[in-house]
Amino acid sequence: MASFRSCGHACSPDCGQSCLPQSPKGPGRYPQGGTGGRWGSPRSWGSPRPSAAEGGGEAESGGGTPQTPGRATPPAQPQHRHSQLHPGAWWLWSLALGTAATRTTNPLLLTLLITVSAYVVATRRPHTPWSRSYGAFLKLALAVILIRLTFAVILGSPIPGTHTLIHLPEVPLPHWAQGIRLGGKVTAEALTFALYDALRLATLLICVGAANALANPSRLLKSLPGALYELGVAVVVALTFAPHLIADVQRLRAARRLRGRHDKGIRGLLQVGLPVLEGALERSVALAAAMDARGYGRTAQVPPAVRRTTAALTLGGLLGVCAGTYGLLTAEGGTYGLPVLLAGVAAALAGLWLGGRRTLRTRYRPDPWDIRAWLVTASGVAVAALLTLAASRDPAALHPGVVPLVAPTLPLWPAAAVLIGLLPAFITPAPEPKRTDTRKEPTT
């Protein structure tokens, strides 16, 4: 039975002292070899190794790794997790900017929203692989604009216009396809309307891309309610399946090229596909075993009345959200849309809270929701609220007309409201710089 060296307090893996597990053979001796045996090295317990001046040097610990002559060991840098912003705040901020983008078709305001999100991403994006997804969302937004303009040229637009740009040959269609045309007259008004509509959707995609680039997905998964934890794990596993599959294909194709074998064509695809499928199955079995060992899917016993109440609140809340959203998007539902939406959200949140009682979960070092998270969320909500108010007060400024074709103007106070979204770039901590290897090679 292993014991811990006495340190004068309750020893735990988070202990900051040099408390090492001792085997029956004596301190610093591990029957299974290595520096930490089955307990692992002290560096893997989540706290940095104390320095020699603090009484935790290698000579005193008896379980440290000996220093290599001529090789400098970089000092341990503690991870300041509490200095990072809560990932849910980034998502709420980004979704609020996307909501603001849906309230206007003014290209100047939409461009300003894109600029605000891009500036925040450029200044606060961490140096991690998942933060590089912002460029992919930019390309997707550009593709959306090009596809929308292409459809407007080929399929036409219901917007009438007098400024004809080109006249394409029109393909006659049968009578059952009335209302649809291929080719014909292409007007400036139709292209402008298509550009405004596509730019709004592109801005929404870019705002979602900003959330993906700023928020850590693993930390966001830890912050999900207990009722959504299993669904969140499934989504994360599904999203990581494609990168692993692509990496396996690239590795196997490179191995076949090194052996002088063909890696292209149907034959190469068949010979590469079987090892990829085998690796995917092995990875799935290993993942299932790891999840089962960690108690994934276990539930607690709750009374039947609580289960029925949870189902009723969740289902009623989702129906209320759908009905309220429909009311906000239609002119007839302007009076009941917002109250029904708020009631549906409240019922859904109550259902999720009750449903979380069936899921047994513990959080190790949960991310705190501090004042900075509130300020970041409030800045995005303020942008969405002010642009919604501007759309109701001055709809002509936020929705420039295309018939007749007029140049859009930049409304001053809605533009100033959009600039509130820059607040996260100044109140959130800067990302950690890229870590470089400062070790020196031994000199002779």
pLDDT of residue 167: 83
List, in order, residues 6 or more apart from 37 with CB less than 8 Å away: 21, 23, 30, 31
Of 348, 364, 380, at which residue does a domain stop?
364
Q: Is residue 91 part of a domain?
A: yes
Which has the higher per-residue pLDDT, 297 or 433? 433
pLDDT reading at 418 higher than 50: yes
CB-based contact 350:317 (threshold 8 Å): yes
Cα–chain center distance at 377: 16
Q: Over the chain, what is the mean pLDDT? A: 75
pLDDT of residue 25: 43
- The listed range with the strongest mean pLDDT (96-105, 122-131, 154-163, 342-351) is 96-105
Of 364, 385, 412, at which residue does a domain stop?
364
CB-based contact 194:161 (threshold 8 Å): no
Q: Which domain holds residue 9?
A: 1-46
CA of 343: how far to CAs of 44, 306, 311, 323, in Å?
A: 47, 20, 16, 11
Give the H/E segment covering residue 165: strand 164-171
Q: Is residue 172 part of a domain?
A: yes
Long-range contacts of 272-279 (CB under 8 A, 24+ apart): 275/248, 276/245, 276/248, 276/249, 276/252, 279/248
pLDDT per residue as tens digits for the range 151-196? 988 887 778 878 888 888 888 878 777 767 788 888 888 899 999 9
Mean pLDDT of the region 94-110:
93
Task: Name the packing angle between helices 87-101 and 371-393 (round to 10°).
Answer: 10
CA of 254: how far to CAs of 241, 258, 259, 263, in Å?
A: 20, 6, 9, 8
* Amino acid of residue 108: L
Q: Which of 100-104, 162-166, 297-301, 323-327 has the lowest mean pLDDT?
A: 297-301
pLDDT per residue as tens digits for the range 324-373? 888 777 766 667 778 888 888 888 888 877 776 666 666 666 778 889 99
The three-point CA angle 309-300-216 to 5° equals: 90
pLDDT of residue 48: 44
Same domain, 118 and 165: yes
Same domain, 310 and 265: no
What would the 3-class secondary structure string for 222-235 be?
Answer: HCCCHHHHHHHHHH
Mean pLDDT of the region 75-99:
75
Sign of the C-alpha dihedral, residues 273, 274, 279, 284?
Answer: positive
For residue 184, report the phi and psi dihedrals to the nearest 5 degrees. Answer: 100, -155
Q: Is residue 56 part of a domain?
A: no
Same domain, 143 and 217: yes
CA of 12: how far to CAs of 49, 136, 296, in Å?
A: 14, 44, 25
Same domain, 394 and 407: yes
CA of 258: how far to CAs of 266, 271, 278, in Å?
A: 19, 15, 21
Cα-Cα-Cα-Cα dihedral of 274, 279, 282, 284, to 10°?
Answer: -100
Residue 265 tokens read as: 């064509």
Mean pLDDT of the region 228-248:
69
pLDDT reading at 198 higher than 90: yes
Which has the higher per-residue pLDDT, 418 or 341? 418
Confidence of residue 27 (pLDDT cuts 50, 70, 90): very low
Same domain, 139 and 156: yes
pLDDT reading at 437 higher than 70: no
pLDDT reading at 404 higher than 60: yes
Of 262, 293, 324, at which residue does a domain stop?
293
pLDDT reading at 126 higher than 80: yes
Confidence of residue 117 (pLDDT cuts 50, 70, 90): very high
Same domain, 21 and 126: no
3-state helix, strand, coil in the chain (%, to 5): 60, 5, 35
Confidence of residue 277 (pLDDT cuts 50, 70, 90): confident
Same domain, 98 and 207: yes
pLDDT per residue as tens digits for the range 37-47? 444 444 444 44
What is the SS3 assignment for 109?
helix
Total domains in the chain come to: 4
Same domain, 232 and 318: no
Mean pLDDT of the region 112-116:
95
Same domain, 117 and 146: yes
Q: Kindly report the pTM of this predicted structure.
A: 0.63
Rg (CA), the chain: 29
What would the 3-class secondary structure string for 227-294 be?
Answer: HHHHHHHHHHHHHHHHHHHHHHHHHHHHHHHHCCCCCCHHHHHHHHHHHHHHHHHHHHHHHHHHHHHC
